[in-house]
């Protein structure tokens, strides 16, 4: 719900001088709406107040008589989690009647994790205009962050420095995926400033999330940042071990090797249908396992534990366990419904840029859908205060 009362919203609607307001006749120009969301989340003027986008009104605040549908509201709400705006913005989307006009109200809260980018570009609102941030403005947004307020993956790692990074990998592999190509090409800022703007540096030191993704030896900084894979010949943890691997290294290397392991261990069964056609079906759909494992890596607790993400492959099931229980606004009742909160916002952002998280909040629903299509039972979830476990049973 918007923090503003209806009276306050009405005052904002007709206040043509306020830089906390944007008015749109319709939601047709989604790119413009996203730029405004990005700008309000950055809160360059430092208001500390939410910005409001009114959709269904003219520039002067008069009603445009927009016909509002549920689909329209859903599309706008998804802008907070589709990965185009990073870090993910906090916002609400509501249908309201203000001054006898039915309209859509998008309320965007200032982010603590600035600069916020839309498709690799930082946007700010100066007066009535939304535009790309200048180098100085982007630096000011970077300086707004304070270590004490940051999650673990965005805090500086004491004792670390630029030499601990694989700088060639960051330059050649990550920057072109994280920053829009034309912005990167025109960018004359020092490389170190680019690292600051992407939250890879803080207080002149690499952040923990950056070290997990880009350090030459990530596990020396975050010992639990690896995946333990175990293939067992039976249904019990005490049964003979067929294969055992500890996947270490950079985040992208771990994720790629994990994809290979999952694919290698899936069995394909050939069924003959009633019309004598052969139909091949895996015991586990690869997409479901990928989504669940990536979810575990993204949402696990890295602080205060040396435990890895564990993937235990039994003869009848796969168990995926990560340290850390549910986080923030996610609970057992709303888990897997698209409600999202991020213990590790920087890790989530990096995974998105690397291509391992196309849309946030989609992982669990997609895994459920793929398992159902393949004939597997629904996934089972075990919620504990110190860990989370997903259990996937083989197709019969």
**Looking at the chain, which residues constitute the CATH 3.30.565.60 domain(s)?**
227-393
**pLDDT of 274:** 58
Q: How many CB atoms lie within 10 A of CB 368?
A: 17
* CA–CA gap between residue 287 and residue 50 (Å, rounded): 38
The candidate with the shortest Cα–Cα distance to 346, out of 199, 222, 162, is: 199
* CA–CA gap between residue 74 and residue 69 (Å, rounded): 9
Peptide bond before residue 87 is cis, with ω within 30 degrees of 0 = yes
Residue 216: both structure tokens together: 């030459």
The answer to whether 157 touches 221, Cβ cutoff 8 Å, is yes
The candidate with the shortest Cα–Cα distance to 165, out of 222, 225, 218, is: 218
Peptide bond before residue 115 is cis, with ω within 30 degrees of 0 = yes
DSSP 134: P
183-211 pLDDT, tens digit each:
777 766 788 888 988 999 988 899 999 99
DSSP-assigned states of every residue in 58-127:
-TTS-B------HHHHHHHHGGGTSSSEESPPPEEEEEEEETTEEEEEEEEPPPSSPPPEETTEEEEEET
Residue 79: both structure tokens together: 């802008």
Q: How many CB atoms lie within 10 A of CB 378?
A: 11
Question: Under CATH, which architecture does the 6-130 domain have?
Answer: 2-Layer Sandwich (3.30)
Q: How many CB atoms lie within 10 A of CB 362?
A: 19
* CA–CA gap between residue 123 and residue 33 (Å, rounded): 12
**pLDDT of 117:** 95
CA triplet 25, 62, 2: central angle to 5 degrees?
75
Residues of the chain with pLDDT under 50: 148
- The upper half-sphere exposure of residue 373, i.e. CA atoms within 13 Å in the direction of its Cβ, equals 10
**pLDDT of 145:** 60
**pLDDT of 148:** 45
DSSP-assigned states of every residue in 167-226:
HHHIIIIIHHHHS-HHHHHH--S-HHHHHHHTTSEETTEEBHHHHHHHBSSHHHHSTT-S
**Looking at the chain, which residues constitute the CATH 3.30.950.30 domain(s)?**
6-130
Instruction: Tell me the pTM.
Output: 0.72
The candidate with the shortest Cα–Cα distance to 117, out of 91, 86, 93, 95, is: 86
**pLDDT of 234:** 97
The answer to whether 331 touches 337, Cβ cutoff 8 Å, is no
**pLDDT of 279:** 74
Label residues 126-157 b or e (16+ Cβ within 10 Å = b). eeeebeebeeebbebbbebbeeeebbbbbbbb
**pLDDT of 272:** 57
| H helix or E strand, kind and range, residue 393 | strand 387-393
Q: In sequence order, what are the residues at sequence separation of 6 or more whose Cβ sits closer than 8 angstroms to the Cβ of residue 307? A: 224, 323, 387
Q: In sequence order, what are the residues at sequence separation of 6 or more whose Cβ sits closer than 8 angstroms to the Cβ of residue 144? A: 46, 112, 114
User: How is domain 227-393 classified at the CATH fold level?
Assistant: Heat Shock Protein 90 (3.30.565)
The answer to whether 100 touches 92, Cβ cutoff 8 Å, is no
């Amino acid at each position: 719900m918007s923090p503003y009362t209806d009276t306050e919203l009405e005052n904002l609607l007709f206040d043509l001088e306020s830089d906390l307001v944007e008015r749109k006749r319709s939601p047709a120009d989604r790119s413009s709406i996203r730029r405004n969301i990005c700008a309000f989340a950055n809160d360059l003027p430092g208001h500390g107040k939410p910005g409001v986008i009114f959709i269904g009104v003219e520039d002067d605040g008069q009603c445009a008589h927009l016909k509002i549908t549920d689909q329209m509201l859903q599309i706008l709400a998804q802008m907070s989690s589709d990965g185009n705006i990073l870090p993910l913005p906090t916002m609400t989307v509501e249908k309201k009647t203000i001054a006898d006009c039915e309209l859509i109200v998008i309320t965007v809260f200032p982010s603590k994790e600035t600069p916020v980018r839309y498709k690799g570009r930082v946007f700010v609102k100066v007066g009535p205009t939304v535009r790309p941030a200048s180098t100085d403005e982007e630096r000011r947004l970077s300086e707004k962050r304070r270590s004490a307020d940051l999650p673990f993956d965005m805090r500086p790692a004491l004792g670390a420095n630029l030499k601990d990074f694989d700088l060639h990998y960051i330059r050649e592999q990550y920057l072109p995926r994280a920053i829009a190509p034309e912005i990167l090409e025109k960018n004359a800022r020092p490389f170190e400033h680019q690292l600051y703007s992407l939250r890879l540096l803080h207080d002149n030191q690499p952040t923990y999330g950056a070290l997990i993704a880009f350090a030459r030896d990530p596990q020396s900084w975050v010992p639990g940042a690896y995946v333990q894979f175990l293939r067992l010949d039976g249904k019990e943890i005490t049964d003979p071990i067929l294969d055992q691997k500890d996947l270490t290294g950079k985040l992208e290397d771990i994720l790629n090797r994990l994809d290979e392991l999952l694919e290698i261990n899936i069995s394909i069964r050939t069924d003959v249908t009633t019309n004598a056609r052969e139909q091949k079906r895996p015991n586990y759909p690869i997409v479901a396992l990928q989504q669940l494992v990536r979810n575990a890596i993204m949402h696990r607790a890295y602080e205060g534990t040396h435990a890895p993400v564990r993937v235990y492959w039994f003869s009848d099931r796969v168990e995926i366990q990560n340290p850390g229980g549910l986080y923030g606004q996610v609970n057992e009742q709303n888990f897997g419904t698209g409600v999202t909160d991020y213990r590790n916002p920087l890790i989530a952002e990096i995974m998105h840029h690397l291509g391992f998280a196309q849309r946030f909040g989609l992982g669990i629903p997609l895994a459920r859908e793929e398992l159902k299509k393949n004939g597997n039972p629904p996934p089972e979830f075990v919620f504990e205060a110190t860990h989370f476990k997903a259990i996937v049973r083989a197709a019969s």
